[in-house]
Structure 1
Amino acid sequence: MAESDTTPAANSETPKAPTPPQLRILGQFIRDMSFENIVARNGTGGNVTPDVQVQVALDAKKRAEGQFEVVGKFNITSKDKESGSTLFLLELEYGGIFAVENVPDEQLHPFLLIECPRMLFPFIRRIVSDITHDGGFAPLNLDTIDFVGLYRQSLQQRAAAAKAESEGKPN
């Protein structure tokens, strides 16, 4: 009868494993998009060597309990390496609505600005490729973005701005 003491009911005091974070995309959308083909507008052409610059900004806000909106703002500029003239400008704001569960409050901000953009990025890459191709250029395939590095850079910039602000204030 001593064997019955090892049944699951007898071991009910063992701690449960923590529930892993859960992330689901509830929706995706283009908030704003603009493409300017400067080459076509100015009537210039010929052989050019493009130099593409990509700037990324991320923003996250709470919509409802457990739901968050994350928006990536991409400013992409292509210039001719030799003349410096602009070939095209692409501005894209792409967002997603996410259901997030089991993420501690102190980890929520980095989770939203790293994991959510990672999930959106393949769709953003496809849109950029299609728009540049349909705009008369070779399809632009964006390189993978290091969202962890981007997040760390954002933290450093905020810390530097806060330090500069505190040093500039009189005591």
Structure 2
Amino acid sequence: MADQEPVPGGNGSGENSSEPQVSILAQYIKDLSVENPSAPQVFSWQVQPGLDVQFNIAVGGAAEDVHEVTLKIEVSARSENGVHFVVDLSYAGLFGLRNLPEEALQPFLLIEAPRLLFPFARQIIAEAVSSTGFPPLLLDPIDFTAAYMAQLQAQQGAGGAGGQEPTETPSQA
């Protein structure tokens, strides 16, 4: 039976493998704020608001081999008439990481982990905006690789990075 054969290269027990292991342990909303400060007047405004989207990534340790990655997204819609809506979301995930090479840890936490969290955060924002009485807002995908590389370049340009990689990546979408 093929499903009972040991994995080639493994030790047969499934434990103490030296292969890199990544798992998503949990995903959750840490904080969500939704404002429609100009209601009900905003619904009679005949102007298209400008959108401002900002995002930030924070990484912290939660336990041994467990890291919390928080994707903070702030969206505001404003026009010359005033604020249409504001949504602030902090969406986080707990990632179990074992046997990851040191040089792969920060890129995973600041690129891949947020990339995995983003579709869920995007859906929460769409539903939150819809709940304010506006059409759902579907955010464009974010290039987390470009944001990470820009952060690295900024740190190297500052000269004070000391070879350390960032643990927080602020950016504008």
State the shift of 1:25 in Å. Answer: 1.0
| 1:104-157 superposed Cα distances (whole Å, 9 cap, x missing partner) | 012201111111111111100110000000111110001001000111122233
User: Where does structure 2 lack aligned partners over 5 or more consecutive residues?
Assistant: 1-17, 161-173
SS of corresponding position for 1:58: strand
Which of residues 65, 68, 86 in structure 1 aligns to 2:83?
Answer: 86
Q: Which has the higher contact order (CA 8 A, sep 6+)?
A: 2
- Residue in structure 2 matched with residue 146 of structure 1 by the alignment: 143
- Residue in structure 2 matched with residue 76 of structure 1 by the alignment: 75
Say yes or no: does 1:109 pair with 2:100.
no
State the shift of 1:46 in Å. Answer: 2.4
Identity among equivalent positions (%) equals: 39
Instruction: Answer with 1 or 2: which has the greater Rg.
Output: 1
| 1:39-81 superposed Cα distances (whole Å, 9 cap, x missing partner) | 316x34322212211101101112222111000111111112x
User: Where does structure 1 lack aligned partners over 5 or more consecutive residues?
Assistant: 1-18, 164-171
**Cα-Cα RMSD:** 2.0
TM-score, with length taken from structure 1: 0.76
SS of corresponding position for 1:38: coil
TM-score, with length taken from structure 2: 0.75
Q: Which runs of 4+ in 1 moved over 6 A?
A: none
Q: Partner letter of residue 79 of structure 1?
A: R
Aligned length: 143
- Residue in structure 2 matched with residue 47 of structure 1 by the alignment: 46
What is the distance in 2 between the residues matched to 1:132 and 1:159?
Answer: 38
